[in-house]
Chain A
Amino acid sequence: MKIVIEVFSAPVCSKCAQAQLALKAVTEELGEKHFIWRDVNVLADIDRAVELGVIAPPSLAIDGELVFAALPSPERLRKELAQRLARTASPFPSSS
């Protein structure tokens, strides 16, 4: 199953755009096939932003959970995603 990453940002934030590029590079490095990346405009999809508890963009949610209230460094995101990937490739597969 793919990990869904949602980045909530305001449309005119130039800093956000730069930071997002660096973060997107992390998913490319770990294997794009594992991830679904969604850029979410908080104003256009404010219901989703409120649902996930976004207080101040830019924020980053993973699999429907607001994991980073502010954009993380690429290192922090790499660590978080690597842990999640390890969990999805669990050494204890279900018996079914």
Chain B
Amino acid sequence: MNSTMLTIGKVAASAQVTADSIRYYEREGLIKPASKSKSGYRLYTDEAIRRIAFIKQAQQCGFSLADVRELLELRSTDKACCDDIYRVSVEKKLQLERKIKALNVMSQALSRLIEMCSHDRKSLAACPILGALEAGHAKDHGKAVKARSRQREAR
């Protein structure tokens, strides 16, 4: 065996991931073995360890594996430049901010529900949180019925 070649176990240990993660990255097209041994074991170079570190770091910044694939493709594309990476990063930042905003709205809605609770051990039927959720459902259902009715009238 070539001394520069590493087994999946060694790569996993060096990159601090599991061998299953490496196989998953391979299925996702993010990494591939440099060769295979005579017995069919995957063999990697040091580049695999650097690539896995890149993947992990990118994931910590919120990039999905699909994003990471795009970044890796850009990295190996001659025509790409740092503007392309910058663009992908700005788009990801916008996406994260959108999620944060949506999560804040959800959190505020939950705060309002939590404030309704008087902690006086009522029966479930009298639970103000369940009641508010039911009322919300009824409101949405009413809107849907009206919308369907308007659609029928328009036909």
Contacts and interface: CB of A to CB of B under 8 A. Distances in A.
B97 A46 contact: yes
Contacts of A46: 93-94, 97
B94 A50 contact: yes
Contact of A13 (B83, B95, B101): B83
B43 to A, nearest CB: 39
Contacts, number: 33
Contacts of B95: 55
Interface string B69-94: 00000000000000100110011011
A57 interface: yes
Task: Summarize A's interface: helix, strand, loop or mixed.
Answer: loop
B98 interface: yes
A42 B90 contact: yes
A19 interface: no
A61 to B, nearest CB: 14
A43 B89 CA distance: 11
A54 interface: yes
Contact of A10 (B87, B97, B98, B101): B87
For chain A, give the interface size range: 10 to 19
Contacts of B101: 50
Given A12-B83, A13-B83, A43 B90 contact: yes
B94 A42 contact: yes
A50 B86 contact: no
A56 B93 contact: no
B91 A55 contact: yes
A58 to B, nearest CB: 10
Interface of A: 10, 12-14, 42-43, 46-47, 49-50, 54-57
16 contacts: A10-B90, A12-B86, A13-B83, A42-B90, A43-B90, A43-B93, A46-B94, A46-B97, A49-B94, A49-B97, A50-B98, A54-B94, A55-B95, A56-B91, A56-B94, A57-B94
